[in-house]
Structure 1
Amino acid sequence: METVELRFQYTQSEYIKAERQYLISSKTIHKYDIALVAVFLLLSVIYMLFSSFSVFSILIFGLIIVVTALGSYLYILMPILKFKQTAKYHEEYTLVFSKENIKFKTQSIDSEVKWDIYSALWESHDFYYLIQAPRLYTLIPKRVFKDLNEKQLFEEIAQSRVKTTKHV
């Protein structure tokens, strides 16, 4: 039985990068959202000036500010807070992948899960995401593979067990 054993610990910058990448790839946030917000912000300021600061123009401007703040929180602040406040992200992980199951071991976790909890494998330049559900995934940094053969074996095992593979 072929297995791939990975040992790693997330770094804060790596986790934040992965979480932000996931937000874009999952279409929670779109790449063009920043440009769209800038256009709406500009239009609302122009409208406010031309309408002599009418109540409606001020409400529109306020709404755009709130949406901008929420988007900024989701993309900028939430990944940082999530990493800092979640103890498991600071532990060393040992993951063992086989065609039958995945073994997770950390200081606080010792479990074995079946592959059927995962529906997809997403691959980016730096990470693999084993997707369970929206906003629920197992993150595997590519830096933890010893060599290309180990990475290819992981891909073979994962692709044989999940329904969908996607490059993000």
Structure 2
Amino acid sequence: MMTCKEFFEKHSDNNEKCIALQDEPSRLEWQSDTASKHSPSLVDDTEELCRQVFSPIHIDIDNKKLNPTALNDAYDKGLSVFRLLYADQKHIVQSGHIKASSDNDAGKPHRDFVAITSMTASEVRTIKNIEGKLGFAIYDTALEHEISHSDVCHVEKGKPSFRSIRSKLLEIVQKKLTLI
């Protein structure tokens, strides 16, 4: 049987690692294991997590409303978040501007870094799908250059299940949206 760290090392470049994770029987228990050799610690339920928001892909900037697509990465590649225990808002904002500039320079569709939003780990981990099963898990996928990095993954199969829990998470993060 594969360990959490082995799974995330094997799937480090996989843009569908969350989909692959859905077939792992230990996927929920792995939240209690480290997923990265760079990890400073496991993600505690009390931790505040921060998500960068880019326009136009994540937000209707005129209405200041997040689009459901702001959370789509949780379905397949992993929703990248910063752990505020290891990164402050200034760092997150700076890296957001750098990412937008880098993506624009690489010829990706134009985007601007416009906001951040947050959630606690317990808010994410307690969201249940329409069948009453836990819908998300959080893994400490710290990177060599960003130890505060974690991934939120949808852990139950199916798009209908994902849409149901995504809407619940969207309600949480919309309330904590901060425009930059």
Q: Does TM, normalized by the shorter one, top 0.5?
A: no
| TM-score (ref. length: structure 2) | 0.28
Which structure has the higher relative contact order (CA within 8 Å, separation 6+)?
2
| TM-score (ref. length: structure 1) | 0.30
